[in-house]
Structure 1
């Protein structure tokens, strides 16, 4: 792959995907997004991987979409390119995905981070949806995921003015999980990932599905979905192991079965 780097075992059970267009501040062109999609699908089927971390570099997670690639496109060109189908496939990744963000996470970069399940940021991270300044608007979830994460008023301000927010503000309003010094942001993402790898992979997948369902369904439908996934856990060996370990006062050894 040309624009991403994959480390399948960056930590035990944790894979790392690094966006690798440093000269373009990791701008998200079509090829990079397709490579990212393929990497996530590959790692999603790798039984040695339980959590995936996506990062860029200290200067930029991703500074947005590749504007040069879009500037002369027509509406029909954009429709036929169907670039957002790649984003839809990324969203369907079953394993937990953590964004480790430093520097710019703007436009498509902010949208990519929000597509992940959790976000760990360095104190230099900056988030924003500045598409309005280019005469367009967010198209990969910026108006939808941002509003769900931080509420209508704040999202409306960011989307309509193109305003950037700092990492501490992003944490305060609930967009990200935590902020750490720049030299620690990737280690902190691995630390969070490692906590998750200790849990039952099956239960983690079902729990992730259930949390995401909260944004797609009514409360009644969401509770029904949650209950079915809860019952399904009792068909796993991990449930037996987890509860037996609790009774025996020892750490469980989950196998993902």
Structure 2
């Protein structure tokens, strides 16, 4: 698929590359539309998704030329918010490989991923208040969940941008690799590992992880009850016990 989002079937996962390198992959309406189209496919046929940016950056933010023309009705429509929420709620894991700039809307798209890996060259944060707006596409709640209230507060109120090392220390990314190519390879390795697991158990784990605190432990027990009756659980556990006998 050509356009601002290049889609590839990589066997163990779907790879989506933000492909506006001349704009440092700034997120415009066409890219948002392409994300919605991709999500529609992955909602129907669940697959692990790996996100990356073309060139030397993940996404330097929203397209400011478009953003400048938006008005109150556009804000209330939640153009980026709904797309990123849809990414976050995909049935299977979403992995973001981050390098260079992941700012503003680019950072918020990365926050919507389940797993993030990056490089020392990563620059990640939300400088929106310097442009007269707020980070309204997920940062105000996802960032706090990811790094805690004190750091999220400093980032959002001061526009502080984290380096890759700082993002790793804060847990915002879980792996740090020397180059963008290495980070991407690591992201694909994570996807390959997930592909070896039971997809229904993986999907159930994601639902449980994303449930509010008030839903536990009931949701855990309900999901486990379904899995306890699954043929795949029986097959995998039988294979495990048979391997143990012969080892």
Q: TM-score range by the shorter chain?
A: over 0.9
Which residue of 100, 112, 127 corresponds with 1:103? 100
Residue equivalent to 1:209: 207
Question: Is it true that 1:6 corresponds to 2:7 in the alignment?
Answer: yes
Greater CA deviation, 70-79 or 140-149?
70-79
Distance 1:164-1:80 versus aligned 2 partners, 3 A rule: closer
SS of the residue corresponding to residue 217 of structure 2 reads: helix
The equivalences for 1:209-228 within 5 A come to 209-213=207-211, 216-218=212-214, 221-228=215-222
Query: 1:222 and 1:43 mapped to 2: Cα distance?
Result: 27
Residue equivalent to 1:189: 187
Residue equivalent to 2:116: 119
Contact 1:110 1:127 in 2 (8 A): yes
Q: TM-score, normalised by structure 2?
A: 0.92
The equivalences for 1:63-82 within 5 A come to 63-80=60-77, 82=79
Which residue of 197, 200, 215 corresponds with 1:199? 197
Supply the RMSD in Å over aligned alpha carbons: 1.6
Residue equivalent to 2:145: 148
Question: Is it true that 1:130 corresponds to 2:127 in the alignment?
Answer: yes
Question: Is it true that 1:241 corresponds to 2:235 in the alignment?
Answer: yes
Residue equivalent to 1:20: 19
Question: Is it true that 1:56 corresponds to 2:28 in the alignment?
Answer: no
Deviation string 1:40-86 (CA, Å, 9 cap, x unpaired) is 32134336xx4210100341101111111021322124335745333
Contact 1:57 1:102 in 2 (8 A): no
SS of the residue corresponding to residue 248 of structure 1 reads: helix
Query: 2:155 and 2:25 mapped to 1: Cα distance?
Result: 22
SS of the residue corresponding to residue 27 of structure 1 reads: coil
Residue equivalent to 1:254: none
Query: 2:77 and 2:139 mapped to 1: Cα distance?
Result: 21
Which blocks of at least 5 consecutive residues in structure 1 are unaligned? 251-257
Query: 1:81 and 1:171 mapped to 2: Cα distance?
Result: 29
Query: 1:74 and 1:159 mapped to 2: Cα distance?
Result: 22
Query: 1:186 and 1:42 mapped to 2: Cα distance?
Result: 23
Residue equivalent to 1:33: 32
SS of the residue corresponding to residue 148 of structure 1 reads: helix
Query: 1:117 and 1:37 mapped to 2: Cα distance?
Result: 18
Residue equivalent to 1:253: none
Distance 1:80-1:181 versus aligned 2 partners, 3 A rule: closer
Query: 1:76 and 1:45 mapped to 2: Cα distance?
Result: 31
SS of the residue corresponding to residue 55 of structure 1 reads: strand
Contact 1:41 1:93 in 2 (8 A): no
Q: TM-score, normalised by structure 1?
A: 0.89
Residue equivalent to 2:158: 161
